[in-house]
Structure 1
Amino acid sequence: MKVGMTKEEVAEGYLNELINRSLVQVAKRRRDRRVAAYRIHDLWREIIVSKSGEQNIVTLAGEQSRAWPEKVQRLSINNHWEYTQQSKHFTRLRSLLMFNATDSLSKLSMLASSNDGLRLLAVLDLIGALMETFPNEVLKLVQLKYLSLRETNVKIIPKSIGKLQNLETLDLKQTYVTELPDDILKLKRLRHILLYRHIQDHIPPVRFKYQCGFKAPTEIGSLSSLQKLCSIETNHDNGTILLGEVGKLTQLQKLQIESLKNEDGRVLCSSLEKLSNLRSLIVRATGEDEVIDLDSLSSPPQLLRSLCLDGGLLKVPHWIPSLHNLVKVILRWSKLRDVDPLESLQGLPNLVVLLFLQTHEREELCFKAGGFQKLVKLYLRGLKGLRWVKVEAGSMPRLEELVIRQCELVEELPSGIEHLTSLKSLELVDMSDGLISSLNRDLERGSNWKISHISKVWIGDTKLGYWKGNYL
């Protein structure tokens, strides 16, 4: 491993190298343009499957027709595979992935009971398995480093999880787990705790509390290897103590805080000043009327790339303009009245994504010349008082995607939109009838020159509870 790099960073570097060589393609990017999903060409897939079987890299159950290797090391099971006693090849199994596999629990149980308990297994992924209780077989897998029960109906994590002393990643996203036992603190090698559940889809009306996290053990600071902690609830009796403990997690790169109380802002700021490796920070208040107070933060994490603040703001935190590595900023339910948030954000040299949702209650947003030089995606949503958007020449020269949603007082296109020569996509959703009628008239008259350079213009609405619309 390269000096100064984590295992995760090295792995991402290898994937990027494969992309550069066109051996792997980008299937989906995140809002900040980081790769979210990969794909490979069908021909490459056939070659990879063939070579992986020949060299005993990965065995695909339910797909491979050739004879299985004597000792399977990595096994991927799809929905069609049935366990048989011929499957005596698993005593050296290191990785087990089940994708859409029926009876995942019974398959796991049979594999474990007839193959020396799968004692060498290091990776177990049971995503989407039909289960409501934590599988007891897992507690015997003492070599396990990666465990995913994502998108299952598991509700409780047993205290005996403390037996998994080698565990590094615990993925419980989209489960019904709301609390982790104190025994989780025995897992000193834990690097990633991923535990939160979305409780609403993205169709309006958007509720403030659309995601819930988990109640963490009070002494969470003893897990000194943690790099990702998502997402801890803090609105409880030990919430203040818990926020103080976070400051001990000096290796943290991603932190997600739910239900922050106004009076706990100073404690959180004190902890954040100690997290010099932090790259991503999400903070959500207890409610949309609760003010997030992070103004006492004097030395913010300078490596921060992504910042999301959900809750009331009296002003944009003074330290944000100093974060020159910021790529993505999301401000939701800020409800700023007397402050123009663009003044603080326009000079960020590497900002690529900016999202406002109920951020601004003034009548005008003005993107000034020279500002937002690297911005690629801009989302404006639910800005109830907004009437006009103005774009000066020289602002946002790289903007490719502009989305304006639920800004119902806006009656005209952004003034100066013709200056956005890089713009490829414009979405107008749940906007005023006046704006839509004006656009349609201009289209009929052939006088829509201001947006003629934009290849995709989409007009839609979600008022009926589902997406509908059309391209101009």
Structure 2
Amino acid sequence: PGVVTEFKLVRVLNLQLTGQGHRDDDIADLTGISEMFQLRYLKIASDVCIKLPNNVLQYLGTLDITDARFAPVPWDVNFPRLLHLHLSLPVQRDLLDWVDRIGSPSLMSLGTLNYLQELHLTISSLSTFKHVVKNMEALGSLLGGHDNLKSIAVAHASPVKNTAASKTNILWDCMEPPPLLQRFEFSPHISCIFSQVPSWVGKLGNLCILKIAVRELMMNSVNILRGLPALTALSLYVETAPDDNIIFDKAGFSVLKYFKFTFMRGIAWVKFEADAMPNLWKLKLVFKAIPPMDHPQWRTYGHGTALINIDYMPGLREIFTKFGGTAADLEYVTRIGIASNHPSNPIIDVQLVDSGSYVDESTETEITSTHEILEEKPDVIIK
């Protein structure tokens, strides 16, 4: 790493370090990077622990250490021009525990990340339940009222789902959201979940991309979402399907182009009325775990009424549905009828996936743009 300081005028630095042949407790000292005064972009991938500089990186605009093990980040250092920050939360320590030592824990008051526009955090599947909860609490304190943040994403690092036995609610109900936020993504595969769509989401007039998991879906949540004037792509995960019908009428969602609606367990009756979501291109409805055919939910089901009812939606180019469950239960679903679709709409692509061969959707690539959403590849199914 000492060689790095010989290139003081370098503006873009992408380091890939390997610890092959070294001990696990070895540390790669990268503090010399602070002498690279013109550095604008720094990305580090390393399987050994790295130590970052304690001095100001005056012009650094992007810091990406998602794929690195590192000693505590020196947050007392000023990052005056940092715009993009990509980090993985270590398993062995709380990256954000420095908040506990700050009297006024917000990005604005700290004066260190005032210009930050993009924050991307990756959580390891090995993180403990307590570790994740603590980091989410700290993150909520950091985000509140930040003037320049436009993109926030909390992703899951591994295709292996978080093994925490239960999920706790994310208590951000009183947070003052970043006013310029355009993208908010929160992986449904970590051990924290929103109880419902937070009311402050309704204040986000610039929000274009939203990916969020909620414990339950209430009508108030739907009203919040339909009131977002710039919402173009929505991925909504609901832990437990509601008993009431979910109806989307012509109100709101006027610029929505992509809608993925996932129920983690249970069944729900979903209806799209005529001319709902007039600019929607792609509709995906996923029931990951339908109940057994003798479950009480089916008793309230009126035969002759489809689970999914889609009236004419003029902008639709693709309709995709997926049902996960045992072979017998899936066969029951096909027998009673799955969907009613207006003849002028595209034909529905229906996938019935035996629960023994279902691939967890945490393997999906994180959303980064509306274009990538609309070009999203179908989910992988192991046969």
Q: With structure 2 as the length reference, what TM-score do the two structures score?
A: 0.67
Aligned residue in 1 for 2:314: 421
User: What displacement does 1:223 show?
Assistant: 1.1
Work out whether 1:293 is the aligned partner of 2:174.
no
- Aligned AA for 1:312? I
Aligned residue in 2 for 1:278: 149
Q: State the Cα deviation string for residues 155-179 of structure 1 (Å, max 9, x = none).
A: 946333333232111123xx34586
In our comparison, the structure showing a higher alpha carbon Rg is: 1
Aligned residue in 2 for 1:241: 98
Task: Name the SS for the 2:342 alignment partner.
Answer: helix
Percent of matched pairs sharing the same residue: 19
Aligned residue in 1 for 2:82: 226
Taking the TM superposition and a 5 Å limit, the aligned residue runs for 1:244-323 are 244=105, 246-247=107-108, 248=111, 249-257=113-121, 262=133, 268-283=139-154, 289-298=167-176, 300-310=177-187, 311-323=192-204
Taking the TM superposition and a 5 Å limit, the aligned residue runs for 1:71-470 are 137-149=3-15, 153=18, 156=28, 158-172=30-44, 175-177=45-47, 180-183=50-53, 185-197=55-67, 216-219=72-75, 222-233=78-89, 236=93, 239-242=96-99, 244=105, 246-247=107-108, 248=111, 249-257=113-121, 262=133, 268-283=139-154, 289-298=167-176, 300-310=177-187, 311-332=192-213, 334-336=214-216, 341-363=221-243, 364-409=245-290, 415-431=308-324, 450=342, 453-454=345-346, 457=349, 459=351, 461=353, 463-464=356-357, 467-468=380-381
User: What displacement does 1:196 show?
Assistant: 1.8
Q: Give the Cα–Cα distance (whole angstroms) in 1 for the partners of residues 48 and 169 of structure 2.
A: 25
**For residues 439 and 191 of structure 1, do their structure 2 counterparts lie closer, same or farther at Cα, with a shift above 3 Å needed?**
same
User: What displacement does 1:291 show?
Assistant: 2.2
Q: State the Cα deviation string for residues 406-458 of structure 1 (Å, max 9, x = none).
A: 4343998664413222111122234466778877999xxxx986355316736
Higher strand share: 2
Q: Give the Cα–Cα distance (whole angstroms) in 1 for the partners of residues 69 and 269 of structure 2.
A: 37
Q: State the Cα deviation string for residues 34-84 of structure 1 (Å, max 9, x = none).
A: xxxxxxxxxxxxxxxxxxxxxxxxxxxxxxxxxxxxxxxxxxxxxxxxxxx
Task: Name the SS for the 1:383 alignment partner.
Answer: strand
User: What displacement does 1:343 show?
Assistant: 2.6
Task: Name the SS for the 2:321 alignment partner.
Answer: strand
Q: Give the Cα–Cα distance (whole angstroms) in 1 for the partners of residues 54 and 235 of structure 2.
A: 36
Task: Judge conservation of contact 2:309–2:341 (CA < 8 Å) in 1.
Answer: no
**For residues 164 and 177 of structure 1, do their structure 2 counterparts lie closer, same or farther at Cα, with a shift above 3 Å needed?**
farther
Task: Judge conservation of contact 1:337–1:362 (CA < 8 Å) in 2.
Answer: yes
Q: Give the Cα–Cα distance (whole angstroms) in 1 for the partners of residues 31 and 265 of structure 2.
A: 48
- Aligned AA for 1:193? L
**Unpaired segments ≥5 residues, structure 2:** 20-26, 124-130, 157-161, 292-297, 299-304, 360-379
**For residues 349 and 240 of structure 1, do their structure 2 counterparts lie closer, same or farther at Cα, with a shift above 3 Å needed?**
same
User: What displacement does 1:351 show?
Assistant: 0.5
Taking the TM superposition and a 5 Å limit, the aligned residue runs for 1:12-31 are none
- Aligned AA for 1:383? M
Task: Judge conservation of contact 2:217–2:242 (CA < 8 Å) in 1.
Answer: yes
Q: State the Cα deviation string for residues 138-188 of structure 1 (Å, max 9, x = none).
A: 3421111111247x757946333333232111123xx34586524154322
Higher relative contact order (CA 8 A, sep 6+): 2
Task: Name the SS for the 1:344 alignment partner.
Answer: helix
Task: Judge conservation of contact 1:218–1:242 (CA < 8 Å) in 2.
Answer: no
Task: Judge conservation of contact 1:234–1:242 (CA < 8 Å) in 2.
Answer: no
**For residues 261 and 156 of structure 1, do their structure 2 counterparts lie closer, same or farther at Cα, with a shift above 3 Å needed?**
same
Q: Give the Cα–Cα distance (whole angstroms) in 2 for the partners of residues 388 and 459 of structure 1.
A: 18
- Aligned AA for 1:305? Q
Task: Judge conservation of contact 1:328–1:354 (CA < 8 Å) in 2.
Answer: yes
Task: Judge conservation of contact 1:321–1:344 (CA < 8 Å) in 2.
Answer: yes
**For residues 269 and 453 of structure 1, do their structure 2 counterparts lie closer, same or farther at Cα, with a shift above 3 Å needed?**
closer
Task: Judge conservation of contact 1:171–1:195 (CA < 8 Å) in 2.
Answer: yes
**Unpaired segments ≥5 residues, structure 1:** 1-133, 198-211
User: What displacement does 1:278 show?
Assistant: 0.7
Count of aligned residue pairs for this structure pair: 314
User: What displacement does 1:358 show?
Assistant: 4.2
User: What displacement does 1:375 show?
Assistant: 1.0
Q: Give the Cα–Cα distance (whole angstroms) in 1 for the partners of residues 178 and 322 of structure 2.
A: 36
Q: Give the Cα–Cα distance (whole angstroms) in 2 for the partners of residues 413 and 195 of structure 1.
A: 48
**For residues 196 and 360 of structure 1, do their structure 2 counterparts lie closer, same or farther at Cα, with a shift above 3 Å needed?**
farther
Q: Give the Cα–Cα distance (whole angstroms) in 1 for the partners of residues 212 and 277 of structure 2.
A: 19
Q: With structure 1 as the length reference, what TM-score do the two structures score?
A: 0.55
